[in-house]
Amino acid sequence: MRRGLQVLGRKASRSSGGALGGKVNATPPIAAFSSDSSITVDLSKAFDTHNLDSAPPTSATATKEELVEYLRLMYTMRRMEITCDTEYKTRTIRGFCHLYDGQEAVAVGVNSALDLNDSWITSYRCHCVALSRGSTVEQIISELFGFKEGTVKGKGGSMHFYSKSHNFYGGQGIVGAQVPVGTGLAFANRYKTPPGENMPVAIAMYGDGAANQGQIWEAANMAALWKLPMIFCIENNQYGMGTSIERSSSNTKYFTMGNRIPGIRMDGMNVVAVREGMKFVKDFVGSGNGPLFVEMNTYRYHGHSMSDPGTTYRNRDEIVQTRSTRDPIEWVKKNLIEHSLLSPDDVKEMEKHIRKEVQDALKKAKAGSQPPLEELFKDIYCDDKGGNQYPPYIRMPDRTKSRTFA
């Protein structure tokens, strides 16, 4: 239920000022109004557009149930990533591990705006997207342990989560490689949709470090020519591994990188802003207007990966300040509490419950086991129905087919 708010029609605002281009200076606003079961969020400063005649609304409503759901999901993501950090430090998880804490609002916002028909592909920082699309905490942690109970049977690891049934295409180890693949997914969506209907969209998320790649422009060019329902989503967490955006990019306004392709920048720490923005984007590209460049202004608390302490290229003060002023989970909690939708105790209980859930999932995951050796040869070739099949010209795993003179 919304109480008398004027909806200001925004027109062709070309990169209006005051948007969250800076790093740590803008605090997302607390909602001004609330009813018994919903709040209204002011989004007037949350969006910047480029070459767009329309824009997402300047305010949005979020019901209590929605907010609670966002909080639950974000907090689960946060606890899961912290658990991964701890497990990595005890060497139960090894190899690559890129953590997403701080950026939860992006994943949750995108997840709430898109539906399961929309294809989603992202980079190696994919644990939380995997959680949104098809995996449970237990499966994710199992996968990080390398156990067969994991999402991809222990054969993928941190960077290669995947779920076809949820239209989640990973999980990519190579920086930027997911973008042309995502454009292909958009192409498939357009190809399969009868004309006149809204197409399911495809979103490829990549980082500011990948944003300057040539292949991304090539894919964007094709997407624009063919008017594909493609969302090029840049998760700008201000640092590409250890390089700040000012040092890595001549143009730090990544949403303008499409040149004539329109773009929009949104506050990635505000889950409602992300949701509203992505709803707008989905409508825009799904109706055949061509691709959009979407920049999520966000922040990661951890270093680039577990090998990176994260403090050698940025000031610790910056991290602390972001945590205290722009933390996405704190924002939702504050909104819930200040508008009396939930008491602080309730929030604490929920947090406790989620912690316990994650701990239980960790324990269950630890009880898993590595995949058997036969798994090595599966999921490489498949038959017509997608099941595993060994073509006759493959000798493994049956060595008797090898001709040896023993």
Partner 1 sequence: MTWLGKSRRVVHLCLFPNGLRAGTGKSRSSVGRLLEHGPLPASPVFPHGRRSISCGKRNNRISTFPQVSRLACFQPGAAALSSSQRSFTSLPPHQVVGLPALSPTMEHGTIASWTKKEGDSFGPGDVICEIETDKAVVSFDAQDEGILAKILVQPSAGEVRVGQPIMVTVEDAANVAAFANFSPDAAVPAPPKAAAPSPAASTPAPSTPSPPPSPPPSPPTSAAAGVSLLGYPGRVFASPLAKTLAGQLGHDLRAIPGTGPNGRVLAADVREYVPPVVAERPTETIPPEAVRASAPAHASTVEKVAGAPIHGAGSTDYPVSEAGRGVAARLTVAKQTVPHYYLTVDLELDKLLSLRETLNKELGEKEMGLSVNDFLLKAAALASKKVPEANASWHGDFVRQYHTVDVNLVLGVGDGLLAPVIRNVDSKGLRALSAEVAGLLGGAERGELSEEALQTGTFTLINVGMYGVKAVAPIVSLPQACVLGVGAIENRVVPAAAPPKGEAAGEGEGEVYRVVPGVTVTLSCDHRVIDGAVGAQWLSAFKSLVEEPMTLLL
DSSP state of 377: G
By CB under 8 A, tell whether 316 contacts partner 1.
yes
Least Cβ distance, residue 238 to partner 1 (angstroms): 16
Query: In terms of Cα–Cα distance, which of 176, 182, 184, 179 is closest to 210?
Result: 176
d(CA 160, CA 102): 21
DSSP state of 37: S
By CB under 8 A, tell whether 90 contacts partner 1.
yes
By CB under 8 A, tell whether 241 contacts partner 1.
no
By CB under 8 A, tell whether 366 contacts partner 1.
yes
Which of 352, 381, 398, 401 forms a contact with partner 1 (CB under 8 A)?
A: 352
By CB under 8 A, tell whether 70 contacts partner 1.
no
CB 73 within 8 A of CB 106: no
Give per-residue burial for 306-341: e unless 16+ CB within 10 Å, then b.
beeebeeebeeeebeebeeebbbbebbbebbeebeb
Helix (H) or strand (E) holding 133: none
Question: What tokens does 291 get?
Answer: 């691709």
Least Cβ distance, residue 359 to partner 1 (angstroms): 4
Which of 14, 356, 395, 401 forms a contact with partner 1 (CB under 8 A)?
A: 356
Residues of the chain by 3-state class (helix, strand, coil), percent to 5:
40, 15, 50
By CB under 8 A, tell whether 301 contacts partner 1.
yes
By CB under 8 A, tell whether 394 contacts partner 1.
no
Residues 328-347 that bind partner 1 (CB under 8 A): 342, 345-346
- Residue number, 259 or 370, with CB nearest to partner 1: 370
Judged by CB under 8 A, the stretch of 120-128, 211-219, 237-245, 368-376 that binds partner 1 is 368-376
d(CA 174, CA 357): 32
- Residue number, 79 or 125, with CB nearest to partner 1: 79
Residue 164 has a CB neighbour count (10 Å cut-off) of: 9
By CB under 8 A, tell whether 400 contacts partner 1.
no
Which of 25, 27, 37, 86 forms a contact with partner 1 (CB under 8 A)?
A: 86
Q: How far apart are the first and last CA of the chain?
A: 80
By CB under 8 A, tell whether 299 contacts partner 1.
no
By CB under 8 A, tell whether 323 contacts partner 1.
yes
Query: In terms of Cα–Cα distance, which of 167, 159, 72 is closest to 123?
Result: 159
Which of 16, 25, 215, 369 forms a contact with partner 1 (CB under 8 A)?
A: 369
Using CB under 8 A, list all residues that contact partner 1. 79, 82-83, 85-86, 88-92, 94, 145-147, 301, 306-307, 309, 311, 316-317, 319-321, 323-324, 342, 345-346, 348-350, 352-359, 363, 366-370, 373, 403-406
